[in-house]
Chains A and B, each alone.
Chain A
């Protein structure tokens, strides 16, 4: 079984995406042997009213809830966000909540960011922090967001010691610094931008965070799934006994999917 912790649905303003509706995504997962995926809405990032993006997203995936596990997106600068967050957690029963500070005009360490992180922590579910959607070197003129920095992540981790962090699409994380910030045992990192062989940065994170800190993620539909399937196959070759942890069990345990 494979659970993909790094997936989105919807349209992206600056590039055509394939496999970006719920039905297309499930068919794409079938072709690639992916059983379940943690998905969030791109519309929720780019609509002014984030919650209206999530509402159409929740409706769209409702026939596929066995395969697509919804993540809510919250914009703490928008009116009524706490009420919307409560609705997503209590009624939709989302397993995690994404923050996109670079796209919504705040920082993790300002009053909006701190408030959102504290509120998510109060529900006992993880926050999802995505370092980037696309490489900035190909940015559209209207795309002003920057990559989330490891420094901002570490500060947030220290400021919210009871919050769990699902870190997707990250590169450049230092395992020792994550441990110093208290993230060992309360973060899960996907390997969509990491390498198992050659640069081996995924394995270095495992050395410091433990095997429970790494999970399968592909960043579909932005990226091809093949790269992550190759990484998983290489992981299986090197550490066959741990394959299940990376392929799905770590994600299941971290998110309470069982």
Chain B
């Protein structure tokens, strides 16, 4: 894999002149806000929804996206902490995402969150939300991806050729692992990918807190799995390691709430302009273009 050297100037891109009153743009492309960006992994109302009329959280998200030049954000509202709930709670969560999509049409896209344990109702929920405009399915940590209970969800995604985004992590800290006993790591994703070789599977937040080096090495042999670049970790060379391991076409820009950090990671990474453009939006567009609905 040929990689460009680090730094905007070394990539032959325009950088802000040193004579400016501040030198902030050095190390960042001068037009970094204008670079097209689709955020493949974000959330709305993750901490709950205070009232149906309170849009401050969603509007704040769009304001931040405007600052960073993020054109579209693909959001879900998963039930977290491993809690298993009935389908009514799941539907309410998805309805709030649909509301956010209506509030900011063309800016917020939606993933349908489901709990596979809800069985046929979960599959119906996917149909309902796809009909309402959602573009994919989000799974959290209620079930490991090697659990057969996941298979009908994967088959539903295959039927519609929609992406399946999974919460992931190889947690090496005993306390963190105890808190998420059924979390799926890269090898679990690979097991699902081998069962369904054409499934568009996304390993969520490579920098989400677990051992990201392990994750990158783990999915090298599973060519249809995408890595999303989100997470609170900003570890140097993560993006370069992703590209060197799986190629630039399997890496998706995403933030999962770490918006400035995750934009900055891509801008700092050792990428050619074409690789960066692929990661920032073209790869995700290709995923979306596969959909039948």
Does B133 lie at the interface of the complex (its beta carbon under 8 Å from any beta carbon of A)? no
Report the separation of the CA atoms of residues A87 and B158 in the bound assembly, to the nearest whole angstrom: 67
- Please tell me if the beta carbons of B235 and A223 are within 8 angstroms of each other in the complex: yes
- Please tell me if the beta carbons of A33 and B259 are within 8 angstroms of each other in the complex: no
Which residues of B are found within 8 Å of A17, using beta-carbon distances? Answer: 236
Report the separation of the CA atoms of residues A231 and B6 in the bound assembly, to the nearest whole angstrom: 20
Number of interface residues of A (CB under 8 A): 45
- Please tell me if the beta carbons of B22 and A226 are within 8 angstroms of each other in the complex: no
Q: Which of A222, A230, A236 meets B260, CB within 8 Å?
A: A230
**Which residues 251-293 of B have a CB within 8 angstroms of A?**
257-269
Q: Which of B9, B209, B213, B263 meets A137, CB within 8 Å?
A: B209
Q: Which of B61, B232, B236 meets A19, CB within 8 Å?
A: B236
Report the separation of the CA atoms of residues A222 and B211 in the bound assembly, to the nearest whole angstrom: 14
Which residues of A are found within 8 Å of B50, using beta-carbon distances? Answer: none
Report the separation of the CA atoms of residues A243 and B25 in the bound assembly, to the nearest whole angstrom: 13
For the complex formed, measure the closest distance between the CB of B18 and the CB atoms of chain A, giving whole angstroms: 8
Q: Which of A198, A229, A243, A247 meets B264, CB within 8 Å?
A: A229
- Please tell me if the beta carbons of A230 and B257 are within 8 angstroms of each other in the complex: no
A224 with B234, Cβ < 8 A, contacts A229-B28, A230-B68 known: yes
Which residues of B are found within 8 Å of A33, using beta-carbon distances? Answer: 23-27
Q: Which of B171, B173, B264 meets A224, CB within 8 Å?
A: B264
Q: Which of B6, B32, B67, B238 meets A31, CB within 8 Å?
A: B6
Which residues of B are found within 8 Å of A136, using beta-carbon distances? Answer: 173, 176
- Please tell me if the beta carbons of B23 and A31 are within 8 angstroms of each other in the complex: no
For the complex formed, measure the closest distance between the CB of A66 and the CB atoms of chain B, giving whole angstroms: 17
Max chain B Cβ within 10 angstroms of own Cβ: one of A31, A193, A243? A31
Report the separation of the CA atoms of residues A230 and B37 in the bound assembly, to the nearest whole angstrom: 15
Which residues of B are found within 8 Å of A221, using beta-carbon distances? Answer: 236
**Which residues 194-214 of B have a CB within 8 angstroms of A?**
209-213
- Please tell me if the beta carbons of B24 and A223 are within 8 angstroms of each other in the complex: no
For the complex formed, measure the closest distance between the CB of B15 and the CB atoms of chain A, giving whole angstroms: 9
Q: Which of A1, A137, A197, A222 meets B63, CB within 8 Å?
A: A197
- Please tell me if the beta carbons of A226 and B265 are within 8 angstroms of each other in the complex: yes
Does B172 lie at the interface of the complex (its beta carbon under 8 Å from any beta carbon of A)? yes
- Please tell me if the beta carbons of A232 and B24 are within 8 angstroms of each other in the complex: yes
- Please tell me if the beta carbons of B28 and A233 are within 8 angstroms of each other in the complex: yes
**Which residues 1-31 of A have a CB within 8 angstroms of B?**
1-2, 15, 17-19, 31
Report the separation of the CA atoms of residues A223 and B25 in the bound assembly, to the nearest whole angstrom: 18
For the complex formed, measure the closest distance between the CB of A79 and the CB atoms of chain B, giving whole angstroms: 33
Report the separation of the CA atoms of residues A135 and B170 in the bound assembly, to the nearest whole angstrom: 13
Which residues of B are found within 8 Å of A232, using beta-carbon distances? Answer: 24
Does A64 lie at the interface of the complex (its beta carbon under 8 Å from any beta carbon of B)? no
A197 with B234, Cβ < 8 A, contacts A1-B23, A33-B27, A137-B176 known: no
Report the separation of the CA atoms of residues A228 and B260 in the bound assembly, to the nearest whole angstrom: 8
Report the separation of the CA atoms of residues A23 and B212 in the bound assembly, to the nearest whole angstrom: 28
Which residues of B are found within 8 Å of A18, using beta-carbon distances? Answer: 236-237
Report the separation of the CA atoms of residues A33 and B258 in the bound assembly, to the nearest whole angstrom: 23
Does A199 lie at the interface of the complex (its beta carbon under 8 Å from any beta carbon of B)? yes
- Please tell me if the beta carbons of A236 and B236 are within 8 angstroms of each other in the complex: no
A135 with B260, Cβ < 8 A, contacts A33-B27, A224-B269, A237-B67 known: no
Q: Which of B27, B173, B257 meets A32, CB within 8 Å?
A: B27
Binding site for A on B (CB under 8 A): 6-7, 9-10, 22-28, 32, 60-61, 63-64, 67-68, 169-173, 176, 209-213, 232-238, 257-269
The 5 A-B residue pairs whose C-beta atoms are closest, nearest first, are A33-B26, A226-B268, A227-B264, A226-B264, A32-B27
* 20 more CB-based (< 8 A) A-B contacts, given A227-B268, A230-B68, A233-B24: A2-B23, A33-B23, A135-B233, A137-B169, A138-B170, A138-B212, A192-B234, A195-B261, A198-B259, A222-B235, A223-B235, A223-B236, A224-B235, A224-B238, A224-B265, A230-B32, A230-B260, A230-B261, A236-B22, A243-B22
Q: Please name 6 pairs of A and B residues whose Cβ atoms are closer than 8 Å in the assembled complex, sorted by A.
A: A31-B26, A32-B27, A195-B260, A197-B68, A223-B236, A230-B263
